Every structure is written in C-alpha cells, then in structure tokens.
A = this chain, B = another copy of it.
Amino acid sequence: MAVRAAVAGASGYAGGELLRLLLAHPEVEIGALTGNANAGQRLGALQPHLLPLAGRVLEPTTAEVLAGHDVVFLALPHGQSAAVAEQLGPDVLVVDMGADFRLRDAGEWEKFYGGPHAGTWPYGLPELPGARAALAGARRIAVPGCYPTAVSLALFPAYGADLVEPDAVIVAASGTSGAGKAAKPHLLGSEVMGSMSPYGVGGLHRHTPEMIQNLSAAAGTPVSVSFTPTLAPMPRGILATCSAKAKPGVTPETVRAAYEKAFADEPFVHLLPEGQWPATAAVYGSNAVLVQVAYDEAAGRVIVISAIDNLTKGTAGGALQSMNIALGLDEATGLSTIGVAP
C-alpha cells in the first residue's frame, strides 16, 4: 500500500528536489503540495523540470490541506515548522527539512537562530553512530543541514577512532541553490558566475553548532570547529575540506583503516580508491557521498574531503533516506548513487 506524502513548501529548491525524488519512489504517492506566496500557481510554472506534476496547483500551507497523509515534509522557513507539526497529530510522520529541531542545546539555538527553541527531534543522518536506531519507527525527523551532512560524514570516523585533536578546521564550497530561491542581489547570476566568495566567516554560520554537536558526540569530548563556507559558481554541490591535527601514533594506514571500517556497509557513503579525489560533479543529483582522506605528515594533519549534492543527500535525499528507515522500508528505496554527469 502506498505511502501518501504531502510537501509543504513545494515551490522552493528543497521542495522541488524532494518532489523529483518522490516521483521515482516506488512506495510513495504524492498528495498535497503547498506554498505560501505561490499558492494557486501551477507547479509547471514554478518547477518546469517536473513535467509529470506540471498540472498540479499549489494549495496554501494549512493543517486542513496537510491532513490525511502518512508523511508530511516541511520545507518551510526557519521557525515555522513547530506550529504546523503540532496540528498534524502524533501518528503522522513529520519530516522537517528546516533547522528547527536539529539542535539539542536550546541556548545554541537561540544564539544562532533567535526566538525560542522548539525542541529536538531524531536526527536524520543515518550514518552517524546510533542514528538508525533512533530513526526506526520515529514519527518526527529533523533533517540535517547540508553543510553538517558533508562535514559530519567526513570527520566522524576520525573522531570515532580517536585519530585527531578536538579542533577541526573546515572550509566548504557550496553551489548557489544552498542559498535558496528567494531573489537577492548577491545571488544573481551576474554576481555569482565567475566568482568565489566567503560568508558567515568566523563561526557565524548557523550550521556551526550542528557540526559541533555531531563531532563532539563522535569524539566523546567537546570539539571546536572553525567553519568557513564559500559560495561557488555552480547550482549544486558541496565540497568540504576538513582537517584536524593528527594524534600521536597516527599513520596513513590507521587513518585509511578507520574510514574503510566506518563506511564498509554504507549504501551511500563511498570511500574512493587511493589517489582519486571527490568532485561535486560526480554526485550531481545523486544521494552518494564521496570521501577521500589523506595524512599530511609534514603538516601533521589528517585531511578529509567529502562531496555531496546539497539538495539530494544534503537535503531531500537525506530526508527520504530517513523516511525509509522510519517507515521500515529498505533504506535505499527510491534513492541512487548515480549522478548526472558531465
């Protein structure tokens, strides 16, 4: 029997990617699609790449419209998910693709997002230790941020195997879809093509506390994170360059062994053969995470680089993967490790 899914926020990039994947999911039937400013418009005008849904019309985001589904995906601006979720009842699986329920520390939430903390839901990054158990049967899921997905998967094995010191340095490049579909001057094509630029430098990016939360859990001790995001001239993709000082006794072999072990049974995280490095083009539209690791003896650091598609594994694909687990489906249903390239 089909799982009936509604998508709140179907006109944005996260919502559009989710619909692209849901259309290919054999167990899901797409129900209500809602928007705010775009309610009443044809999806064909807003998401012209989703031809099978071109004739669907967006409805307003209300409890009535979202009622009667098995799963409701929320792709809403930060701070709006709690009110909607409350009205949906405890038996509906609510998958929040926003930030509202990711952090455990209310103080960090308030510092980075402002306003009261809505709570903490099971965290939808199945590859982290213990995550699958928490997701199985869950009826509320907090989908991780795109950067924390790329960074946490790159570094948790190093922290889990106690290979590195607890201060990580991360520089990541993201495609522009990570900044959303709202029209802002600095996101114009004229501005971003041909340009690399940083933002949120010095610990200001809202994904920083989420990385700290995940890496500290893996390390069993507080980890500090220096995180610099940069905007790259491409629509999709995150390339995260992550490093930390190696602990004494670390060798290239111990590092590689830790990563081989961590990802051995993962359907989506792939440690590349030695000498091959991840490129975001190889995960375009795919749910795969490509990882490579190096030990720079001269600098005394372990460097891990991961590539994901920020909209797929970084948002909508990750959401679907967690939904599969929560509903008892095969985790990889409707997802693939095949990218669209070149």
Residues of A that sit less than 8 Å from B by CB:
13, 16, 20, 23-24, 42, 44-45, 47-52, 54, 167, 169, 171, 173, 175-177, 179, 181-185, 187-199, 201-203, 224-228, 230, 232-237, 239, 241, 243, 245, 270, 272-273, 276-286, 288, 290, 292, 294-301, 303, 305, 307, 336-342
- Point out the residues of chain B lying under 8 angstroms from A189, CB to CB: 176, 187-189, 191-193, 233, 235
The 5 nearest A-B residue pairs measured at CB: A49-B339, A195-B281, A202-B294, A189-B192, A197-B279
Q: How far is the CB of A168 from chain B (nearest CB, A)?
A: 9
Check A233–B230 contact: CB distance below 8 A. no
Docked CA distance A139–B179 (Å):
46
Q: How far is the CB of A103 from chain B (nearest CB, A)?
A: 15
Given A188-B183, A234-B233, A340-B285 in contact, is the A239-B273 Cβ separation under 8 Å? Answer: no
Check A47–B305 contact: CB distance below 8 A. no
- Point out the residues of chain B lying under 8 angstroms from A245, CB to CB: 167
Docked CA distance A252–B204 (Å):
15
Check A195–B234 contact: CB distance below 8 A. yes
Q: How far is the CB of A279 from chain B (nearest CB, A)?
A: 4
- Point out the residues of chain B lying under 8 angstroms from A188, CB to CB: 176, 181, 183, 187-189, 342
- Point out the residues of chain B lying under 8 angstroms from A179, CB to CB: 190
By beta carbon, the residue of chain B nearest A192 is B189
- Point out the residues of chain B lying under 8 angstroms from A337, CB to CB: 51-52
In-complex Cβ contact of A198 among B198, B233, B305 (8 A):
B305
Q: How far is the CB of A245 from chain B (nearest CB, A)?
A: 8
By beta carbon, the residue of chain B nearest A286 is B49
Check B235–A190 contact: CB distance below 8 A. yes
Check B196–A234 contact: CB distance below 8 A. yes
Given A47-B341, A49-B339, A183-B183 in contact, is the A195-B237 Cβ separation under 8 Å? Answer: yes
